[in-house]
Chain A
Amino acid sequence: MANGSAEIFEILPIATAKFSPFGDLLFMNHAFRDLLASMEASSHEQLLPPGYRSLIKRVLRGKSSEELRSVHEGRTLHLVFKSSEDGVYLFVIDLTPQEEIKAQLSQSEKMASLGLLIAGLAHEINTPLGAINSNNDTISRSIVRIRQLLQNSDHDDASARKRDTGRLVDLMEQVCENTSLATERLIGIVSSLKNFSRLDEADRKEADIHEGIESTLTIVQHKLRNRIRVEKQYGDIPPVECHPNRLNQVFMNLLVNAAQAIPERGTITIRTSRAGDSVRIAISDTGVGIPIENLPKIFDPGFTTKGVGVGTGLGLPICFKIIQEHQGKIEVESSDRGTTFTIVLPLRQERRVRHG
C-alpha cells in the first residue's frame, strides 16, 4: 500500500482495519483504536464473529463484500467487509446512538398510545360509573323516603302509604338491576385490561391469538362504536409461541388504523387460518385505501398522512418490528375499496444466534 493511502485511512473518521488473505490484522486506523478503547476491548477479535477468518477468505474469493450486525457489551455495531486486491477491509459503524434513538421513539409511541388508551378507557368507564353513582344516590333517597313513610304511620292514610312504599321498592329494584348491568360492564373493562398488561411479561409463551384479538377489540371498542361492524372469521388455529403483549400492540395499531381509514360506516374483517407451520392473521377494512405511491413508505418511521396530533408515524414501523422479532412477515394490499394487512407468524420460534 502506498503511504498516501495509509495516511488517508489513518485520519478517516470511520473505524477501518485491513486483513491479510489469511485473516491476520495488517493495520487499524485511529478511529478503530478509539472504538476498541471506548469498548474496553483489548483485541479487535472481540468485535468480530468467531468464524471471521473463513468469512474473510470467502469475501476475498468472491471479490465481494459482506455486512453483518454485531451486538457486543450493549453496543450495536454494523460490520462491512470489502475485498481489495491484496486483502479485506473492515469498516465498523457504531449504531448504538441510532439504536438508542429508536428505543426512545418506540417508548414515546408507547406513551402516545397509552394516552389514547386512557382517554378511551375514561369514557368507557364513566358511563357505567355514572349510572352506578346515580343509582346509589337514588337508593339512598328512596330509603329516606320509606323511613319517613314508616315513621308517619299515625297521620297518613294507610293505603296511600302502602302504595307509595311499593312504588319506591319497585324503583329500587329497577335501579339495582341497572347497577348489576353497569358493574358487569366495568368487570369486562378491567378484565380486558388485565389481558392487555400481560404483555409486559418479557418471556415468550404459548398464547391464543384469538384471545389477544378479543381483548384488543374490547379496548378499541370506543373507536369503533356502532360506526364500524367487526366481522370475525376465525379459523382453527393452534396456540402460537409469542410475546402476547407485543402482538396485542400490533393488533391495536392495525385496528385503530383500519377504523381511521373508514370515513363513515364500514366493516373491519379479521380472518385467521393455519398454513402449515404458521398462522395467518388478516385484518381488512373497507376504508379509503393507501395511495399506491405511499405504499413503499408506510413502514418507514415518521411517515404519516394523518396530520399533526393524530399520527406519530410510528404505528406501522412498530408493527413491522414486532412481527420481525417474531420471525414473521407483515404484508399490505390496498385499493380504493380498502386495505388488508396480513401477518404470518411461525408457530414456534427458532432460537437465533445474533452474532454473524
Chain B
Amino acid sequence: MAKREPPVILLVDDEEMILTSIKAFFAIDSDYDLLTYTSPLKALRDLETEIKSIDLVISDYLMPEMDGITFLAKMKERYPLVPRILLTGYADKENAIKAINNVGLYQYIEKPWNNDDLRLIIRNGLEKTILLKQLEEKIHEAERIHKELSDVQKEILRVFV
C-alpha cells in the first residue's frame, strides 16, 4: 500500500483570527493538510476547479456571504461521505438542531472550544471517512471478485457441459 497522503481538512470561518488559532494548534503535532478560507464562496469556487479530495469540513455558522448551514449543505451535495462539523459562536440551539436535521451534521462545536475536544472530534470524523472509504473499496473488490468468479464459473460450464 502506498504511503497515505495527509488528511485534507477544509476550514471556513470569516474571522481570520479563528483560522490562525486552529492552524497554529494543528501545526504542533498533526500532519493534517488544512485548507482555510474566510470566504465560503471562494472555497466553493476553488473546489470546483482545483481541489479534488477533501476528508472533513469545518464551517463557522454566521458568515456575511453565506451561512454555515447552507455551505455545509452544498458540501454534502458534492462530498456526501465527508463528515461536516459546524463551529459556532452563536448561542442558539435552535440552529444547531436545524443543521443536524437538514444537513446531516457530524458534530456541532461551540466557540470558545476546547482544543482536545476539537482534535478528538476531527480524529473520529477522519476515522469514519477512512472506514467508509475502506468499506467502499472492499465492496468494489468483492464485486470484482464476484464477477471474476462468475466468469470462471461460466467458463467451466462452457468447457465441461
Name A's B-contacting residues (CB within 8 A): 119, 122-135, 137-138, 141-142, 145, 168, 171, 174-175, 178, 181-182, 185, 222, 225-227
Question: Can you list 9 A-B pairs, Cβ within 8 angstroms, ordered by A?
Answer: A122-B90, A126-B89, A127-B111, A130-B18, A130-B111, A130-B112, A132-B112, A134-B112, A138-B21
Give the residue of A137, A168, A181, A225 whose beta carbon is less than 8 angstroms from that of B17. Answer: A181
User: In the assembled complex, how far is the CB of residue A189 from the closest CB belonging to chain B, in whole angstroms?
Assistant: 13
- Asked if B91 is at the interface (CB within 8 A of a chain A CB), the reply is yes
- Asked if B27 is at the interface (CB within 8 A of a chain A CB), the reply is yes
Contacts of A134 in B (CB 8 A): 21-22, 24-25, 112-113, 115
Tell me the complex Cα distance, A131–B91, Å.
17
Tell me the complex Cα distance, A133–B160, Å.
74
Give the residue of B27, B28, B65, B89 whose beta carbon is less than 8 angstroms from that of A127. Answer: B89
Interface size in chain B (residues, C-beta < 8 A)? 26
B90 touches A178 (CB 8 A): no
Give the residue among B62, B92, B111 with the most A Cβ atoms within 10 A: B111
How many residue pairs link A and B with beta carbons under 8 A? The number is 88
A129 touches B25 (CB 8 A): no
A133 touches B24 (CB 8 A): no
Give the residue among B14, B64, B89, B92 with the most A Cβ atoms within 10 A: B89
A127 touches B18 (CB 8 A): yes
B21 touches A131 (CB 8 A): yes
User: In the assembled complex, how far is the CB of residue B111 from the closest CB belonging to chain A, in whole angstroms?
Assistant: 4
Contacts of B14 in A (CB 8 A): 226
Give the residue of A122, A130, A226 whose beta carbon is less than 8 angstroms from that of B64. Answer: A226
User: In the assembled complex, how far is the CB of residue B121 from the closest CB belonging to chain A, in whole angstroms?
Assistant: 14
- Asked if B15 is at the interface (CB within 8 A of a chain A CB), the reply is yes
Give the residue of A145, A168, A175 whose beta carbon is less than 8 angstroms from that of B21. Answer: A175
Contacts of A225 in B (CB 8 A): 62-64
The 5 A-B pairs of least Cβ separation, nearest first, read A126-B89, A226-B64, A130-B111, A130-B112, A134-B21
